[in-house]
């Protein structure tokens, strides 16, 4: 049952709270297994909770704040021991897992990150020692500038024998553009595939107006074959960003294309402390007679007086300045990786300052 949809999980949670919950913040049961399952249900809804046990009765206290990884508190109980064997780690895409022990849950991932940093640091030193040029490195990856097969073999052998970490050649790029922002980069492989990490245009709730521009930018980059093509691509991408800004100024867009879509994670009545933009839009829909419940996707646009549901907004309602900010956030990181500042995009500096 814990694999139900968000809306069904909400219904299950509310039903259980009606039966054995009190004050809307605590659930009680004598069953340890049920307490664990209820805590997992709360977790899947995006909330934190803690289990306490007294006289064989389990109380699950719920915090309705959204789960956020806490910063390292600087508490260090590590010690070095002599050990010759395998150490197993959980391997997840974002290097962060949410774990429970004795009814308390927390984010974990520091040890994996620290080991990754150590392995990368040692590998960088080895790469420089054998004459390979390192252009970028983060927690779990290393970028080398045109290394020889022998240099790659030496690095792989070193990592396996000295660090007990397996290295793989994951990608070969025609070129890579690195952003000054940490861990943001784009690379074009030999077959024209464009890889982008940490950039705004990939997000699911990005308006179609910007998604289309982002995909056009990817298409331009995929066609680069040589330095001249790279220079041409920079000019085309710069012009694309300017065209989008002009379209906003002239209001040459459909309201639907500017819609931001966000899912309601709970019923409107449950939003008591803060009112996010999609909740404000959902409230307007409800007042207009439309049924709105947890799990619904709310499409809204930014307007001069706040936000409006797409169904109620007109072109003249749109706050152009706010969408210009979204254009900036979508393009800026890519432009930064290409060596272009946003001031260049909006025409604050001459083109020949960066095109030579």
Please tell me the distance from the alpha carbon of residue 244 to that of residue 93, in angstroms, as a whole number: 34
Residue 69 has pLDDT above 80, yes or no: no
For residue 71, pLDDT beyond 50:
no
Q: Hey, what domains does the chain have and what are their CATH numbers?
A: 6-68+84-108 (3.10.28), 109-170 (3.90.1600.10), 255-317 (1.10.132.60)
Residues 6+ apart with CB under 8 A from 235: 355
In whole numbers, what is the pLDDT of the chain averaged over residues? 83
Q: pLDDT-based confidence at 76, cuts 50/70/90?
A: low
Q: Which pLDDT does position 67 carry in this prediction?
A: 56
Residue 312's pLDDT is 97
Residue 267 has pLDDT above 90, yes or no: yes
Q: Taking the model in full, what pTM does it have?
A: 0.58
Range with lowest mean pLDDT among 87-91, 109-113, 276-280: 109-113
Sign of CA dihedral 5, 11, 14, 17: negative
Mention every residue, 6+ apart, whose C-beta is less than 8 A from residue 188. 173, 174, 175, 176, 194, 195, 221, 222, 224
Q: Which residue has the higher pLDDT, 136 or 196?
A: 136
8 A C-beta contact, residue 189 and residue 172: yes
Burial of 295 (0-12, 13-18, 19+ CB in 10 A): middle
């Amino acid at each position: 049952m814990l694999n139900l949809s968000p809306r069904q999980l909400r219904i299950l949670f509310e039903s259980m709270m009606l039966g054995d919950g009190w004050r809307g913040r605590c659930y009680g049961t004598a069953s340890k297994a049920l307490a664990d399952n209820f805590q997992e249900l709360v977790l899947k809804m995006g909330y934190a909770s803690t289990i306490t046990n007294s006289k064989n009765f389990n109380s699950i206290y719920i915090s309705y704040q959204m789960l956020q990884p806490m910063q390292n508190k600087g508490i260090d109980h590590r010690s070095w021991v002599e050990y010759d064997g395998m150490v197993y780690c959980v391997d997840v895409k974002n290097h962060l897992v949410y774990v429970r022990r004795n009814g308390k849950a927390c984010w974990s991932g520091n040890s994996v990150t620290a080991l990754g940093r150590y392995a990368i640091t040692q590998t960088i030193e080895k790469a420089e020692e054998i004459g390979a040029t390192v252009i970028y490195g983060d927690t779990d990856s290393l970028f080398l500038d045109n290394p020889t097969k022998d240099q790659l073999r030496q690095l792989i052998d070193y990592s396996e024998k000295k660090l007990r970490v397996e290295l793989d050649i994951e990608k070969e790029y025609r070129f890579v553009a690195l952003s000054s922002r940490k861990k943001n980069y784009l690379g074009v492989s030999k077959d024209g595939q464009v890889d982008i990490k940490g950039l705004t245009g990939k997000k699911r709730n990005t308006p179609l107006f910007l998604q289309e521009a982002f995909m056009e930018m990817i298409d331009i980059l995929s066609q680069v074959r040589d330095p001249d093509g790279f220079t041409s691509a920079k000019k085309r991408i710069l012009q694309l960003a300017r065209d989008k800004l002009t379209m906003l100024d002239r209001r040459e867009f459909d309201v639907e294309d500017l819609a931001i879509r966000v899912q309601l994670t709970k019923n409107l009545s449950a939003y008591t402390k803060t009112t996010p933009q999609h909740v404000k839009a959902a409230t307007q829909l409800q007042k207009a007679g439309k049924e709105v419940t947890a799990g619904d996707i709310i499409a809204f646009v930014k307007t001069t007086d706040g936000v409006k549901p797409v169904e109620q907004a007109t072109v003249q309602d749109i706050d152009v300045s706010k969408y210009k900010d979204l254009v900036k956030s979508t393009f800026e990181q890519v432009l930064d990786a290409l060596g272009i500042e946003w001031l260049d995009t909006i025409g604050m500096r001459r083109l020949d300052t960066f095109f030579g």
